Amino acid sequence: MGGFLVRQPLPTRELRDLNPFLLLHHAVVSYKDATRADQSGVGPHPHRGFSPVSFVFKGGVHHRDSLGNNSVVYEGGVQWINSGKGIIHSERPPEELIGSEQEQEFIQLWVNTPAAFKMNEPTYQGVSKNEIPIVTSSDKRIEFAIVAGEQFGTTGPVTSNTEVNAMMLTMQKEGVSQIEIQKGHVAFLYLLSGNISVNDETIEEKNMIVFENEGDVFELKAFQNSTGLFVSGAPIDEPIETYGPFVMNSQTEIMKAIQDAQNGKMGVLVEDF
């Protein structure tokens, strides 16, 4: 993606999608040999019909879009795009990462949008770490940053066209907590770093565990200092047609999305460097 390697636990040959979640990329990128931000990261490209979401765990991501947004979100923050009927955006490293030893680490998650909202006006939400409420486990060793939806009686700042709960986890060694999965939701936990157990099943870093949508409570234990992402969402029981950066309900709609992007109907982005 954008000239650098990413880990992709979703989709795979075994798991085509995890309705309403379509794709997960985990990127760890070094720009120590880079000389220009405008030649790094991912340049302007379109989206329609879903939400590309970036959870920033290290460094930062510089977002620009055809709506006029120009936003840098750093470690602990989130960029949530409801792409609606169309948006053009770019994802670059902040200038201070160029030529530095600091890594950029983020997860990009694609969340499908119900058909009723696919052609809404696009929106962008850039949320910094200090805007995201933190819930701490009773042993004070696990922090849950509540990004969207509700967990532990706390509501996240992000609004979505899809019913989603999302939180970023920071776990100290020997931390223990329980997480409740909302009934009817599909849920997963992706472990970026460390080593944990979920209901006594060990998970090593850079692996994803998928839960059944039965509204269960699971116990989380950290064997090492670890970071993770927990997300659950209500399935969207509609046909899915995809082509590159477009997610619609029919091939006709995909063809229209391609035509609209080529004709400039999703806007124009001229980056300022």
Which residue, 161, 172, 132, is CA-closest to 234?
161
> Please, which pLDDT band fits residue 3 given cuts at 50, 70 and 90?
confident
At 4, the pLDDT band (50, 70, 90 cuts) reads confident
Q: Based on the fold, state whether residues 187 and 104 are members of the same structural domain.
A: no
List pLDDT tens digits, range 66-117. 999 999 999 999 999 999 999 999 999 999 999 999 999 999 999 999 999 9
Last residue of a domain, one of 75, 96, 130: 130
Is the domain of 73 the same as that of 146? no
Q: Between 211 and 139, whose confidence is greater?
A: 139
The H or E element that residue 72 is part of is: strand 70-74
99/175 same-domain check: no
pTM: 0.96
What gap in Å lies between CA 185 and CA 164, rounded to an integer?
8
Asked which of 66, 95, 130 is the last residue of a domain, the reply is: 130
Residue 36 lies in a domain: yes
DSSP string over 166-235: EEEEEE-TT-EEEEEPPTT-EEEEEEEESEEEETTEEEESSEEEEE-SS--EEEEEESSSEEEEEEEE--
10 has pLDDT over 90? yes
One-letter amino acid of 68: G
Query: What CATH number does the domain containing 182 carry?
Result: 2.60.120.10
What is d(CA 242, CA 81) in angstroms, rounded to the nearest whole number? 18
Indicate if 110 and 29 belong to the same structural domain: yes
3-state SS of 19-40?
CCEEEEEEEEEECCCCCCHHHC
Q: Could you report the per-residue pLDDT of 203-254, keeping only the tens digit for each?
A: 999 999 999 766 689 999 999 999 999 999 999 999 999 999 999 999 999 9
